[in-house]
Amino acid sequence: MPARPIAAILFPLPLPEAFDYEVPEDLDVRPGDHVVAPLGKRSARGVVWSLKPADAARALKPVEAVAGGPPLPEGTRNFVDWLARYLVQPPGIILRAVLRSSEALKPSPTETLYRPGTGEPGRMTEARQRVLDAAAELGEATGADLARQAGVSASVVKGLARAGALEQTIRPVDPPYDAPDPDRDGIELTAMQAEAAGVLRRLVRAGGFQAALLDGVTGSGKTEVYFEAIAEQLRQDQQAQILIMLPEIALTEAVLSRFKVRFGAEPALWHSGAGPKNRRRAWREVAEGRARIVVGARSALFLPFRHLRMIVVDEEHDPTYKQDEGLAYQARDLALVRAKLDGAMAVLASATPSLESLANAQAGRYVHVRLAARPGTAVLPEIGTIDLRETPAESGSWMSPPLVQAVAETCARGEQSLLYLNRRGYAPLVLCRTCGHRMVSPDTQSYLVEHRYTGRLVCHVTGFSMPKPKACPECGAEESLTSVGPGVERVAEEARRRFPEARVDIYSSDSHRGPEIVAAMERGEIDILVGTQIAAKGHNFPNLTLVGVIDADLGLAGGDPRAGERTYQTLVQVAGRAGRADRPGRALLQTHQPEHDAIQALIAGDRDRFLEMEFAAREMLGLPPFGRLAAIGLMSQDPANVEKSAAVWAAAAPVTDGVEIWGPAEPPRAMVRGWHRRRILVRADKSVDISAYLRAWAGRVKTPASVRVSIDVEPYSFI
Ligand code: ADP
């Protein structure tokens, strides 16, 4: 008997590689198919990664069965392999991220619809008559709807269907998405937008992998421009699939409705809040190649596209594209990789592009498309500072007199203000006036943040919370715990006190009413919005004309190499919420150091000057984008174990030119939920393949099971 071919099967498990199995004669499998095969003492579901010629010399276990579900396209499999090497992870862990919507692998559930038929109902009862009347009225309905309308049980409906008096059709519960129409009329583009759109269209027509940085000031109409690129792609290729990535769920609504106006169809949605049914539908339709447009969060990158032609990364500078927990990756960077592997186009859009992307544009790797102005008569906001050394806020308040006056003027004109402070809750610190004790989290030793709305003290690292005690837990003094510093709740309290007539609301990641607040803001139902960075992203509030930054100094200090860049980006973004169309806006930054470079550059609107300084500093230190960083994190519940492992790792580091090792060190959050942490940072020259270096390193070390190791090849968080 000739030997059977071999299938290498990858399981969505932390195993080092795909395992070989024999393909039995009665099974027809292809790469990408979902199969069941024995693994240890049980059977597991995996994906055929490749087929190899028979090898009679090897005794292999057979594949047990072919499982259902749309096969994983080749591009997706290549992406998994590439990612596993790059992120220094077992490939099965990446596959697990791809197969996240496992329900999508089962056949779509179906539902039966009934409509009036031609058959005779036979014996006629009152109940049957009511069902026929209901069917005549509804036209087509599910059995449950018909029965409810008629006030009868489902068996009456079924009886009529058997008799032929009702006709049945069975359809999948997850219907395909409507096809987008690229040729509907869009908004009339300004000359500047039209030129930018023309550049992108030419890139689309050139085909293959292309990367463009759409670099346009806030409110310049970047969305309309990339819509034109999408339209061109849809015209060029009847099968083209396009992914639009957004950093924030609250932003999807706005893009969705604009997309519907432009293309007359709803895209598939993919994010954690989309619900299992939507995700099942989206995953399956994407894998079948029928979902043409997906709007999603960073994890949409792992969807099994069959014919991916374009990825748009909107607000590409946004820090939420970086996932730190679990599988650590930077979705913007991976979008480029995925586009390259699939021969697709990548469009990165932002008003404040990351230094990485700007460096790529300057080096000619990305086509740099700029939009320097807002459409029509809309102008960019004027940015000014309020020097808190000269005009401080009164004790116990956070708004300086000039800011109070500006808000009063804005309210008087019937326009909206945004007070920006990137601190959730009421106060970032609670301490005892009697003994000086500071309330800290038991797990992390970080300060507990007071939330007045819920009356609790909360650890923003672990989520630990406790009611605010009446007495100091240290010295027992009553009524002695005092709130120090402001959070958004406290600023809102002050705004309400100063402007009792105004409608004040808070927008932070604690509010579950995000989309509601955005809509209320758009409708002008809020006068003063107090918000964290979530309020600073991409929204268009036509009547918002004043942005007050409560603490522009926050974030300028600290050991994070991107702190300056991030502060600059955030301040430009938040200021950019002010002023649209015919209403000019202004932004006022409260600061103790108006002479700081980032703030000076901001006021002067001189981005290039800021960039020059940032680039120079990073280049000197060999930091991204001029070098690479990686982090090895070690965690154990036993402090001695983590210490020992960190020493073993450090000793095993391969010595190579162009690589420096920093650490092991205790990160600022040295303990989280009882886990003691150590970190080793790796800095490498750009020419070094840092993933290969880390793989070689990891191969030399044996870490005991009590110590968890995490590798991050592009760390953004240093706490
Ligand atoms: P960006 O993403 O660059 O910040 P958007 O694409 O969100 O900007 O556009 C900002 C605002 O300008 C939106 O309200 C949009 O509808 C409007 N807009 C964009 N292009 C035009 C245009 N050509 N004519 C009129 N309004 C436009």
Ligand 1: nearest atom to the Cα of 540:
14
Going from the Cα of 222 to the center of ligand 1, the distance in angstroms, rounded, reads 7
Query: What is the CB neighbour count within 10 angstroms for residue 326?
Result: 10
Average pLDDT over all residues of the chain: 88
Model confidence pLDDT, tens digit, residues 226-235:
999 999 999 9
**pLDDT tens digits, 181-223:** 999 987 899 999 999 999 999 999 999 999 999 999 888 899 9
Question: What pLDDT does residue 275 have?
Answer: 79
Asked if 564 and 614 count as a contact pair (C-beta separation under 8 A), the reply is yes
Indicate the burial class of 608 (C-beta count within 10 angstroms; 0-12, 13-18, 19 or more).
exposed
Q: Is the CB of 543 under 6 A from ligand 1?
A: no
Q: Are 331 and 321 in contact (CB under 8 A)?
A: yes
Parallel, antiparallel or unpaired: strands 42-52 and 34-39: antiparallel
- Tokens in use for 618? 């990073």
Mean pLDDT of 426-441: 90
pLDDT mean over 167-175: 80
40-54, 194-208, 457-471, 560-574, range with the lowest pLDDT: 560-574
Determine the pLDDT at residue 556. 62
What's the average model confidence in pLDDT over 676-682? 89
Token pair, residue 129, equals: 């008559």
Say which CATH superfamily domain 191-371 falls into: P-loop containing nucleotide triphosphate hydrolases (3.40.50.300)
Establish whether residue 190 lines the binding site of ligand 1, counting it when its CB lies within 6 angstroms of any ligand atom: yes
What's the pLDDT tens digit per position in 247-294? 877 777 788 888 999 999 999 998 877 778 888 888 989 998 999 999
- Smallest CA-to-CA distance from 534 within 275, 220, 249, 217 is with 249
**What are the residues facing 169 on neighbouring strands?**
113
**Mean pLDDT, rounded, for 473-494:** 92
| Cα separation, 197 vs 487, whole angstroms | 42
pLDDT of residue 311: 98
Which amino acid, one-letter code, is at 2?
P
Q: Please name the amino acid found at residue 428.
A: P
Q: Is it the case that residue 106 has pLDDT exceeding 80?
A: no
Kindly report the backbone phi and psi dihedral angles of residue 578, in degrees, each rounded to the nearest multiple of 5, phi listed first: -85, 135
Query: How many CB atoms lie under 10 A from the CB of residue 574?
Result: 26
Tell me: pLDDT of 558 over 80: no
Do residues 203 and 339 touch, judged by C-beta distance below 8 A?
Answer: no
Ligand 1, from 188, 200, 213, 223: best to mutate by most atoms within 8 Å of Cβ?
223
Assign domain 382-423+486-616 one CATH number from 3.40.47.10, 3.40.50.300, 3.40.50.1820, 1.20.1260.10: 3.40.50.300
The CB of 532 under 6 Å from ligand 1? The reply is no
**With a 6 A CB cut-off, is 555 part of the ligand 1 pocket?**
no
Same fold, 191-371 and 382-423+486-616: yes
For 664, the 3-state DSSP assignment is strand
Paired sense of beta strands 481-484 and 293-296, if any: unpaired
Q: What is the pLDDT of residues 342-375, one digit of tens each?
A: 999 999 999 999 999 999 999 999 999 999 877 7
Across residues 612-634, what is the average pLDDT?
A: 88
Quick check: CB of 218 below 6 Å from ligand 1? Answer: yes
For ligand 1, atom 23, name the residue with the nearest CA: 189
Candidates 669, 443, 423, 464; CA nearest to 456 is 464
Could you tell me the sign of the dihedral formed by the alpha carbons of 298, 299, 301, 303, in that order? negative
Q: In which band, very low, low, confident or very high, does the pLDDT at 555 lie, cut at 50, 70 and 90? A: low
Distances in whole angstroms, Cα of residue 105 to Cα of each of 34, 46, 74, 114: 8, 12, 17, 28
Predicted local distance difference test score (pLDDT) of residue 369:
95
> From CA 577, how far away is CA 536, in angstroms rounded?
7
Range of lowest pLDDT (497-511, 662-676, 682-696): 662-676
Query: Which residue bears the tokens 């050394």?
Result: 389
CA distance linking residue 280 with residue 174, whole number of Å? 8
> Does residue 2 have a pLDDT over 80?
no
Q: What pLDDT is attached to residue 717?
A: 73
Residue with tokens 């996240």: 100
Calpha distance 424→531 (Å, rounded): 8
Contacts of 678 (CB under 8 A, 6+ apart): 633, 634, 635, 642, 643, 645, 646, 663, 664, 665, 666, 667
Residue whose CA is at the smallest distance from ligand 1 atom 2: 222
The confidence band for 563, taking pLDDT boundaries of 50, 70 and 90, is: confident
* Model confidence band, residue 70 (pLDDT cutoffs 50, 70, 90): confident
Burial class (CB in 10 A: 0-12, 13-18, 19+), 547: buried
**CA–CA separation, 614 vs 598, rounded Å?**
9
The C-alpha atoms of residue 681 and residue 18 are separated, in whole angstroms, by: 31
Distance of CA 601 to the CA centre of its chain: 29
Domain at 6-99, CATH from 3.40.1440.60, 3.40.50.720, 3.40.190.10, 3.40.50.620:
3.40.1440.60
Element (DSSP H or E) covering residue 95:
helix 91-98
Q: What are phi and psi of 109, to 5 degrees?
A: -60, 150
Burial class (CB in 10 A: 0-12, 13-18, 19+), 420: buried
CA distance linking residue 719 with residue 633, whole number of Å: 11
Please tell me the distance from the alpha carbon of residue 699 to that of residue 452, in angstroms, as a whole number: 50
**Nearest-angstrom CA–CA distance, 570 and 558:** 16
The torsion angles phi and psi of 132, rounded to 5 degrees, stand at -65, -40
Beta-carbon-side half-sphere exposure of residue 444 (alpha carbons within 13 Å): 19
- Please state whether beta strands 293-296 and 308-314 pair in parallel, antiparallel, or not at all (unpaired): unpaired
Q: At what angle do helices 126-138 and 143-150 cross, to 10 degrees?
A: 120
Domain definitions of the chain by residue range: 6-99, 110-172, 191-371, 382-423+486-616, 627-713
Structure tokens at 177: 């998405």
Is the CATH number 3.40.50.300 carried by domain 627-713? no
Per-residue pLDDT tens for 108-163?
A: 777 888 888 887 777 788 888 888 888 888 888 888 888 888 888 888 888 888 88
Q: How far is CA 365 from CA 169, 196, 329, 335, in A?
A: 53, 17, 21, 15
Q: Which of ligand 1's atoms lies nearest the C-alpha of 538?
A: 4
> What count of other Cβ atoms lies within 10 Å of the Cβ of residue 256?
16
Which mutation among 190, 224, 347 tests ligand 1's pocket best, with the greatest number of atoms within 8 A of CB? Answer: 224
**Bridge-based pairing state of the strands 293-296 and 268-270:** parallel
Q: How far does residue 375's CA lie from ligand 1's centre (Å)?
A: 7
Mean pLDDT of 85-114: 85
CA of 542 to the centre of ligand 1 (A): 11
Q: What is the pLDDT of residue 125?
A: 85
pLDDT digits (tens, 9 = 90+) for 630-667: 999 999 998 889 999 999 999 999 999 999 998 888 87
Q: Please give the C-alpha separations between residue 310 and each of 121, 187, 288, 313, 359, in angstroms, as whole numbers.
A: 54, 22, 17, 10, 22
Share of the chain above pLDDT 70, in %: 97
How far is Cα 175 from Cα 265, in angstroms, rounded to an integer?
14
pLDDT at 473: 92
Query: CA 472 to CA 470: how far, in whole Å?
Result: 7
Write down the pTM of the prediction. 0.84
- For residue 366, how many C-alpha atoms fall within 13 Å in the half-sphere facing its CB? 25
Number of helices and strands in the chain (H, E): 19, 33
189 lines ligand 1 (CB under 6 A): yes
For ligand 1, atom 5, name the residue with the nearest CA.
221
**How crowded is residue 578: how many other Cβ atoms within 10 Å of its Cβ?**
29
Q: Is 201 helix (H, G, I), strand (E, B) or coil?
A: helix
